[in-house]
Chains A and B, each alone.
Chain A
Amino acid sequence: EADIYQTPRYLVIGTGKKITLECSQTMGHDKMYWYQQDPGMELHLIHYSYGVNSTEKGDLSSESTVSRIRTEHFPLTLESARPSHTSQYLCASRRQGLAGGGGEQYFGPGTRLTVT
């Protein structure tokens, strides 16, 4: 069973505020991911990490930033929230597959962000 946690689960915040979405996993996975998803729609990769001190931008341009100081922790920060940031944010980590690419990703419960 996957152990990956996200807090908060729901957040309503005003425009211009700085927010950090937390993601932690206890499985020792090296690779972690952040996705943005409108309800029931396609997932868009916004950030990923190979391991500690390694982060990369994903396919969808995002004004958010991430850090990876510890293996188990991969927080996402928005310096100045805007209504266009309203979405669900899903964090995932990956088990190493037998051939290096086949490990499935395990997802956290998500954070539903609303910026007013």
Chain B
Amino acid sequence: AQKVTQAQTEISVVEKEDVTLDCVYETRDTTYYLFWYKQPPSGELVFLIRRNSFDEQNEISGRYSWNFQKSTSSFNFTITASQVVDSAVYFCALSEPGSARQLTFGSGTQLTVLP
């Protein structure tokens, strides 16, 4: 069975601090995809990144970076120099290839960035 665990329910940081959101997954598939989504207070989910299981290179996009480690089944997300606008709930998700149901979501991490 597929499972995504985001152990950090809430994180609070002060602006300009770096923050890492943890994501641990379980799957029996050898081919799978991992995702991060951001949900600001307005409610919509915004797609941030997709990573496939064969690509363990870390990725950086501006202040965002992602660390994918198959050895520990983790796909952690770091925000550098956090800003108030980063305040949101962040969801990690895992895909089920070949199934239309596709995404298994974690329970989310509420990030609050204080000015």
Binding site for B on A (CB under 8 A): 2, 31, 33, 40-43, 45, 48-50, 56, 58-59, 88, 90, 92, 94, 97, 99-102, 104-110, 112
Tell me which of B61-69, B73-81, B89-97 binds A. B89-97
Q: Which residues of A contact B82 (CB under 8 A)?
A: none
CB proximity of B72 to chain A, nearest CB, Å: 21
Q: Mark B30-44, 1 if CB is under 8 A from A, else 0.
A: 011101010100111
* 9 nearest CB pairs, A to B: A101-B97, A107-B45, A102-B33, A110-B43, A109-B44, A42-B107, A43-B105, A104-B47, A104-B50
Cα–Cα, bound, A92→B95 (Å): 15
Q: Which of B99-113 contact A (CB under 8 A)?
A: 99-103, 105-108, 110
Is B115 close to A, CB under 8 A? no
Q: A41, A42, A88, A101: which has the most chain B beta carbons within 10 Å? A: A101
CB proximity of B108 to chain A, nearest CB, Å: 6
Cα–Cα, bound, A110→B37 (Å): 15
Is B52 close to A, CB under 8 A? yes
Q: List 21 A-B contacts (CB under 8 A).
A: A31-B100, A40-B39, A40-B108, A42-B105, A43-B91, A43-B105, A50-B100, A90-B45, A100-B97, A101-B33, A101-B98, A102-B97, A105-B102, A107-B37, A107-B44, A107-B45, A107-B46, A107-B47, A108-B44, A110-B44, A112-B43
Q: Which residues of B contact A100 (CB under 8 A)?
A: 97-98
Cα–Cα, bound, A90→B101 (Å): 15
Q: Which residues of A contact B44 (CB under 8 A)?
A: 90, 107-110
Q: Which residues of B contact A43 (CB under 8 A)?
A: 45, 91, 105
